Amino acid sequence: MSRIESLAPSGLTAKVVEKVGHYRWTICALLFFSTTINYMDRQVLGLLKPLLMKDLVWTETDFGDIVAAFSLMYALGYVGMGRFMDKVGVKIGLPIAVVGWSIFACLQGLMSTVLGFKVARGGLGLMEGGNFPASISTIREWFPAKERALATGLFNAGSNIGAVVTPIILPLIVALVGWQLAFIVVGALGFIWVVAWGILYEHPEQQKLLSAAELAYVRSDPIIAETKVPWLSLLTYRGTWAYLVGMLMSSPVWWFYLNWVPGYLNKQYGVNLMAAMAPLVTIYFLADVGSIGGGWISSHLIKGGMRTLRARRIAMFCMAGCVVPVALVSQVSNMWAAVLLISLAAAAHQGFAANLYTIVSDTIPANAVSSVVGIGGFAAGIAGMFVALAVGRILDATGGNYMVLFVGASVMYPTAVFIMHLILPKYARTEAGTE
């Protein structure tokens, strides 16, 4: 008899199931806020790009090289911190990562050279690489399979909230204290989060605020015997390779939006930091809708009886189709038409990502989830580095023509979904007990 059944007389179990509690969503909220802060810290540079290029006399190549430094170290941080999270656990590991990236985020305000920004952005990337491996592992620990895509979509929505909040508050901060202190003010938010995590987080079995009924619900998936998984053996899992493909082809596109869309709006439509507030808030607010909606689609299909990986495939196929129109961005003359096309693509990316991350917990042993997320993040970061190097040079060589960049972004997701479909097993590990 399960713990939840032992708590209720016959006939009342269904009512107990309906009231299992909601503390797991408090944990999801903590992950949401860490992701929000994570993206606020990385978004500041892109928003300040026109100002920094003018004040510090940067070229597009200089900016691209700084972004590439972040991407390289983010790649190393993703894979290294992923393994670190599996070793020490997220209770300790995630706050270490947040403290680290907050320090480097603040240090950017003290830099005045391209090299200095490369060092600060590199450190930021190294430590920010720990957020998603830790968050996916936490979702795996705190949620049953049928809720993971929704929970992932919710915490991943923090990336968009960060990208929404930052263009709203940053112009005010810059106007009050200048761009140097703006880096420090935003960077310091991570220290507040660490205090909240220390107060609210504990492993499910040790969390006194978690009811027995909710613990039983969290542990309601079939129990699968788990053994130690050597790192190299992770490359034998189909889910690892499917995740790698999805990350390689989607993450560099998302980083392109974060780092270059503010500059694109400035160059194409003369939008300054203050005027960029409305279009950027629109883009990332709709991306938030996509993040939650993409997770909801597959979770809804699974609850309706569809097998897990089939539901994930369908959701990602829908998201990939919504990306395609972004190819037309550079061909439209109206700013808001361009903004809406980018918004649709950003929303689709986040819906795609919500399901992509969840594929790892569907197909990989629980004690290796962070490691696989780290491997995928490493691959994406390396790809993102080369993309950033290329973008800066393409823009310098073409006088700022973005057409080839948006066309390239439009084809990446459909291609990724097709390749992933060929790689993925028919059934998820959580359903079949294998794979």
Mean pLDDT lowest for which of 1-10, 44-53, 147-156?
A: 1-10
What is the per-residue pLDDT for 201? 94
Q: Which residues contact 16 (CB under 8 A, 6 or more apart)?
A: 4, 7, 8, 213
What is the per-residue pLDDT for 73? 95
* pLDDT category of residue 426 using cuts at 50, 70 and 90: low
Fold of 20-216+232-432: Growth Hormone; Chain: A; (1.20.1250)
Whether 309 has a pLDDT exceeding 70, the answer reads: yes
Average confidence (pLDDT) over 326-345: 95
pTM score, whole prediction:
0.78
Residue 145 CA to its chain's centroid (Å): 19
Residue scoring higher pLDDT (106 or 153): 106
Q: Is 225 exposed, middle or buried (0-12, 13-18, 19+ CB in 10 A)?
A: exposed
Residue 73's nearest CA partner among 32, 117, 106 is 117
> Could you tell me the two tokens for 421?
């479909």
Q: Are 374 and 357 in contact (CB under 8 A)?
A: no
Q: What is the DSSP letter of 59?
A: -
* pLDDT category of residue 50 using cuts at 50, 70 and 90: confident
* pLDDT category of residue 211 using cuts at 50, 70 and 90: confident
Determine the 3-state secondary structure of 182 from DSSP.
Answer: helix
CA distance 329 to 174: 30
Average confidence (pLDDT) over 119-148: 91
What is the per-residue pLDDT for 276? 85
What is the per-residue pLDDT for 321? 95
Residue 158's nearest CA partner among 203, 212, 98, 224 is 98
> Could you tell me the two tokens for 46?
């892109």
CA distance 345 to 342: 5
What is the per-residue pLDDT for 41? 95
CA distance 252 to 51: 24
CA distance 40 to 212: 37
List b or e across 4-19, with b for residues whose CB sees 16 or more CB atoms inside 10 angstroms. beeeeeeeebeebeee
Rama region for 204: left / alpha / beta (φ>0; ψ in -120 to 50; rest): alpha
What is the per-residue pLDDT for 71? 92
Average pLDDT, the chain: 87
CA distance 331 to 410: 14
Mean pLDDT lowest for which of 176-180, 232-236, 251-255, 381-385?
A: 232-236
What is the per-residue pLDDT for 13? 39
Whether 121 has a pLDDT exceeding 90, the answer reads: yes
Q: What is the DSSP letter of 399?
A: T
Residue-wise pLDDT for 394-425, tens only, equals 999 988 889 999 999 999 999 999 999 898 87
* pLDDT category of residue 16 using cuts at 50, 70 and 90: very low
> Could you tell me the two tokens for 144?
């049953």
Q: Which residues contact 221 (CB under 8 A, 6 or more apart)?
A: 144, 145, 430
What is the per-residue pLDDT for 83? 81
> Could you tell me the two tokens for 396?
């310098």
CA distance 107 to 29: 27
* pLDDT category of residue 318 using cuts at 50, 70 and 90: very high
Residue 349's nearest CA partner among 296, 410, 259 is 410
What is the per-residue pLDDT for 433? 40
Q: Are 413 and 305 in contact (CB under 8 A)?
A: no
Whether 166 has a pLDDT exceeding 70, the answer reads: yes
Average confidence (pLDDT) over 119-128: 96
Whether 160 has a pLDDT exceeding 90, the answer reads: no
Mean pLDDT lowest for which of 147-161, 162-176, 235-249?
A: 147-161
Average confidence (pLDDT) over 300-317: 89
CA distance 279 to 334: 12
Residue spans per domain, the chain: 20-216+232-432
Q: Is 130 exposed, middle or buried (0-12, 13-18, 19+ CB in 10 A)?
A: buried
What is the per-residue pLDDT for 224? 57
Measure Cα distances from 156 to 7, 38, 228, 278, 434 in Å.
Answer: 34, 11, 29, 22, 28
Determine the 3-state secondary structure of 226 from DSSP.
Answer: coil
